[in-house]
């Protein structure tokens, strides 16, 4: 499922001029900063940049997947002849399940 969501995300992710501009600025500043740092500090900087990029990618993918799941849930509600989702009912159901699980342990 995760790979499928990733593929869908990349299919509908369109390049944006602002994003391209920001990426150019990041590279420019990274190059300037790397020129001022020693070898060990450059390694740390590269690790930081890589981790930040990975975190950003995961956050974007998670956001996309959440939106997709929401749209799928809305679609299922529209297709089904059942009452619409109610957050308060769901919250109460989850609380009751939690209490039952705590009593069982």
Tokens of 81: 């002849």
Domain housing 91: 2-104
User: What is the count of structural domains for the chain?
Assistant: 1
Give the three-state DSSP class for 44.
Answer: helix
Q: What is the pLDDT of residues 68-93, one digit of tens each?
A: 988 888 888 778 776 767 788 888 99
Q: What is the pLDDT of residues 6-53, one digit of tens each?
A: 777 777 766 677 788 888 998 898 888 888 988 898 888 889 889 988
Give the three-state DSSP class for 38.
Answer: coil
Instruction: Please count the helices (runs of H) and the strands (runs of E) in the chain.
Output: 4, 0
pLDDT at 16: 73
User: What global pTM score does this model have?
Assistant: 0.48
pLDDT at 55: 93
pLDDT at 14: 66
CA torsion, ordered 54, 58, 59, 64, to nearest 10 deg: 140
Q: What helix, strand, coil percent values describe the chain, rounded to 5?
A: 85, 0, 15
φ, ψ of residue 38 to 5 degrees: the values are -75, 175
φ, ψ of residue 65 to 5 degrees: the values are -65, -40
Count how many residues are written for the chain.
Answer: 105
């Amino acid at each position: 499922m995760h790979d499928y969501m990733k593929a869908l995300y990349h299919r509908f992710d369109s390049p944006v001029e602002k994003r391209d501009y920001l990426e150019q600025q990041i590279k420019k500043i990274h190059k300037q900063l790397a020129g001022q740092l020693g070898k060990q500090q450059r390694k740390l900087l590269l690790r930081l940049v890589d981790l930040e990029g990975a975190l950003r990618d995961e956050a974007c993918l998670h956001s996309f997947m959440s939106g997709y799941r929401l749209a799928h849930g809305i679609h299922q509600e529209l297709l089904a002849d059942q009452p619409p989702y109610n957050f308060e009912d769901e919250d109460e159901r989850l609380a009751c399940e939690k209490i039952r699980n705590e009593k069982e342990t």
